[in-house]
Each structure stands twice: as C-alpha cells, then as structure tokens.
C-alpha cells in the first residue's frame, strides 16, 4: 500500500501543482523520486510532527492540497492537538497519511504500534477516516481524496500487501465493497485485514460455511446501509480490524446495529484493550492478537454454531 500511495500521488502531482507532500524526515526509500521531480511540492519538516501538521494546515488554507506522511503514531497521536485545532476546526484540505497501521512495525515495540488511531481520529469532527484493504483500494482512495477538500486520515499498511480486487472496482468514499458473497455470516473488514478475512472465508467454505466478506475501507463516514443489509442477510455480523476493540470499526458498527434494533449476533474480532508486551515479527503479533487466518476462521465458525440462524434472519429482516 505504501508504494501504491506514493506512485499514485506522484502521478497526480504531475498535473495538479496544488498537491504537496510533507514528510517527517523518513520514508526516503519511497519519496525520493517525488522530491526530485517536484521540489516545489515537497518539504521535509524534520522530526517535528507538530510543526509538520501546522505547516500543512497553513499551506492548505493558502490553496494547496497537502499530504503529511510518517509512520505509525507519529503523524497522528503525537500531534493530535494540531490536527484538531489547525486542520479539523478550520476544515483545512490536509490528508494525514500513517504508514504501518496496527502491528506493521511490530518488532519496534508499542511506541510504533498504531492500535488506537482509528478511535482517536474518527472522534474528531469533520475528518474522514479511510483504511484501504489492498493496493487497488489505496490507489482509488488517494484519487478520491485529492478531489475532496475535506480533511482526511489515510491509514496504510507497511508494504507487500497483495491485490485482492482482481476486477474493476466501484470505489466511493463512504460506501463499502462486497468482496465475497455469503449467507451464514458477514465479515466486515477494514484496512490490511482484508486478505486474512478472504482466506478465512475460503477455508470455511470447504467446511460447508458460506461467509460474506465486506471491505469497509471508510471507517468515517461509515456505510450504514451496508451494515444493516449485511445483518438482514446473514443474521451474524463480525467486524475484523487490526486495532483496539475500543472505539474502532467494531464500535462504529455496533452503534449502527444497536440503534437499529438489530436482533442478530454481533462480535468484534480486534486487539485486546491493552499494550502488547510481546516482541516478535508482524505475523507473530497478529497471531497473538487472534488476527491470523486460523483464529478468524475459528471465531466465525464458533459464532455461527452458537446462533439460531433461522430465527435471527427472520427477526433481522423485519427490522
């Protein structure tokens, strides 16, 4: 996703001189070509994310479309006051890009684990929160963001995420994408969990279970209609996110279902409300958090088996 993001921005900057990239003294393996090609549209703010955010707001209010870029929590939690007061309050055309959502920088420890960012950012008025599921969604998201003057938070994986969408995709900010049809349960995924969700659904299909997979690439504004339709169709809804169980996608979906009077089964698959003290690579930490393919498949299967599907579907369809 990271490489796709910078390539897409590189292409857009060629014909839109408003597009500006500000980095916090990192990412040179991927931003060097952009800096050389567009020196008047690039700025290294140094290790000073609060200043980076303030400069971005000022440049946006002067007519630029500004992308700030750093890893994990640095462009978000480190400068949340500037995001709130300078960007969101003034509705500045700034797009905050965080690379390495969740445990992507796992071996560097909790300071580099972005596991509360969705909850914090989506609570701010006026900002749109996007976490694409693969490189295809990343490219389409960047294109859409440039054409929308709203403040944005773009949460990306680190690198190497596979392409899930092999056919043309109708991508709209705030509208979910049904990746896979199913009737026994619905998995609503955001960000880099999409691959594992699809794999888990495929594993369960062999065992006789039909699981729908939805890519909820936009966490705010959330696609309310897609959530309610999924509940009515399957009667069992699970959210999957590489984020704390507090305040992220699962909490947003739960609000919609509860307020609608949804009578079915709902469950979050997310990280526990605690810091990780384990040390290891990305996949190891995902496994500890129950976000690997096998753990997701087991949770879905157990949830389906405990549910009285026929009664739930009938009640959900009546809501």
What pLDDT, on a 0 to 100 scale, did the predictor assign at position 284?
A: 94
Same domain, 250 and 119: no
Q: How does DSSP classify residue 88?
A: I
Q: Residue 308 pLDDT more than 80?
A: no
Q: Residue 128 pLDDT more than 90?
A: yes
What pLDDT, on a 0 to 100 scale, did the predictor assign at position 106?
A: 85
User: Residue 107 falls within a domain, yes or no?
Assistant: yes
What pLDDT, on a 0 to 100 scale, did the predictor assign at position 68?
A: 98
pLDDT band, very low/low/confident/very high, at 319 (cuts 50, 70, 90): low
User: Domain holding 114: CATH number?
Assistant: 3.40.50.970
Same domain, 106 and 233: no
Q: Residue 311 pLDDT more than 90?
A: no
Same domain, 232 and 138: no
Sheet of 19-23: strand order equals 42-44, 19-23, 65-71, 94-99, 152-156, 128-130, 218-220
CA angle 133, 179, 11 (to 5 degrees): 45
Q: Residue 312 pLDDT more than 70?
A: no
Q: Residue 280 pLDDT more than 90?
A: no
- Could you tell me the pTM of the whole model? 0.95
Q: How far is CA 158 from the centre of its chain?
A: 12
Of 22-31, 39-48, 233-242, minimum mean pLDDT range = 22-31
* Per-residue b or e along 283-309, where b marks 16 or more CB atoms closer than 10 Å to that residue's CB: eebbebbbbbbebbbebbbebbeebeb
What pLDDT, on a 0 to 100 scale, did the predictor assign at position 313?
A: 62
Q: How far is CA 140 from the centre of its chain?
A: 14
Span 292-311, mean pLDDT?
87
Domains in the chain, number: 2
Dump pLDDT digits (tens) for 131-165: 999 999 999 999 999 999 999 999 999 878 899 99
pLDDT band, very low/low/confident/very high, at 310 (cuts 50, 70, 90): low
Closest to 17 (Cα-Cα) out of 37, 31, 3:
37
What pLDDT, on a 0 to 100 scale, did the predictor assign at position 314?
A: 65
Domain boundary among 156, 191, 224: 156
Burial class (CB within 10 angstroms; exposed 0-12, middle 13-18, buried 19+) of 89? middle
Count, in order, helices (H) and strands (E) of the chain.
Answer: 12, 12
Q: Residue 54 pLDDT more than 80?
A: yes
Span 109-132, mean pLDDT?
96
- Residue 196 CA to residue 242 CA, distance in Å, equals 11
Same domain, 210 and 129: no
What pLDDT, on a 0 to 100 scale, did the predictor assign at position 107?
A: 86
Q: How many percent of the chain have pLDDT more than 70?
A: 96
What pLDDT, on a 0 to 100 scale, did the predictor assign at position 72?
A: 87
Sequence-distant (6+) residues with CB within 8 A of 317 are 232
CB 216 within 8 A of CB 192: no
- Residue 118 CA to residue 97 CA, distance in Å, equals 12
Domain boundary among 156, 189, 204: 156
Which of 49, 116, 161, 203 is flagged as catalytic? 49
Sequence-distant (6+) residues with CB within 8 A of 39 are none
Span 17-23, mean pLDDT?
98
User: Residue 172 falls within a domain, yes or no?
Assistant: no
* Three-class HEC string of 27-68: CHHHHHHHHHHCHHHEEECCCCHHHHHHHHHHHHHCCCEEEE
Closest to 260 (Cα-Cα) out of 239, 234, 229:
229
User: Residue 276 falls within a domain, yes or no?
Assistant: yes
Residue 85 is part of which domain span?
2-156
Span 119-124, mean pLDDT?
98
pLDDT band, very low/low/confident/very high, at 285 (cuts 50, 70, 90): very high
Same domain, 200 and 269: yes
pLDDT band, very low/low/confident/very high, at 36 (cuts 50, 70, 90): very high
pLDDT band, very low/low/confident/very high, at 29 (cuts 50, 70, 90): confident
Span 233-238, mean pLDDT?
94
What pLDDT, on a 0 to 100 scale, did the predictor assign at position 206?
A: 97
What pLDDT, on a 0 to 100 scale, did the predictor assign at position 26?
A: 87
CB 55 within 8 A of CB 22: yes
What pLDDT, on a 0 to 100 scale, did the predictor assign at position 261?
A: 93
What's the whole-number average pLDDT of the chain?
94
Instruction: Determine whether 49 is an active site residue.
Output: yes
Same domain, 146 and 278: no
Dump pLDDT digits (tens) for 247-277: 999 999 999 999 999 999 999 999 999 999 9
């Amino acid at each position: 996703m990271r490489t796709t993001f910078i390539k897409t921005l590189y292409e857009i900057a060629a014909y839109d001189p408003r597009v500006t990239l500000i980095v916090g003294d990192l990412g040179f393996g991927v931003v060097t070509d952009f800096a050389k090609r567009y020196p008047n549209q690039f700025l290294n703010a140094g290790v000073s994310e609060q200043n980076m955010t303030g400069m971005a707001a000022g440049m946006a209010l002067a007519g630029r479309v500004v992308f700030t870029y750093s890893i994990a929590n640095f462009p978000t939690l480190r400068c949340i006051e500037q995001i709130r007061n300078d960007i969101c309050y003034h509705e500045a055309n700034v797009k905050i890009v965080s690379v390495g959502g969740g445990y992507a920088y796992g071996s560097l420890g909790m300071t580099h684990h972005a596991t509360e960012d969705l909850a914090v950012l989506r609570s701010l008025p006026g900002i749109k929160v996007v976490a694409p599921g693969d490189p295809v969604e990343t490219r389409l998201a960047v294109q859409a963001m440039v054409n929308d003057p709203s403040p944005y938070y773009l949460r990306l994986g680190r690198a190497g995420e596979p392409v899930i969408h092999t056919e043309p995709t109708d991508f709209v900010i705030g509208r979910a994408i049904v990746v896979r049809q199913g009737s026994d349960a619905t998995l609503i995924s955001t960000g880099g969990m999409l691959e594992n969700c699809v794999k888990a659904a495929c594993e369960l299909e062999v065992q006789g279970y039909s699981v729908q997979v939805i890519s909820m690439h936009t966490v705010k504004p959330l696609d309310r209609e897609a959530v309610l339709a999924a509940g009515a169709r399957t009667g069992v809804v699970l959210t999957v996110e590489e984020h704390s169980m507090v305040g992220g996608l699962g909490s947003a979906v739960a609000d919609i279902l509860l307020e609608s009077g949804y009578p079915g089964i709902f469950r979050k698959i997310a990280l526990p409300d605690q810091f990780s003290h384990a040390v290891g690579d990305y996949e190891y930490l995902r496994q500890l958090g129950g976000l690997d393919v096998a753990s997701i498949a087991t949770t879905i299967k157990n949830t389906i088996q405990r549910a009285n599907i026929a009664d739930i579907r009938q009640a959900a369809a009546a809501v």
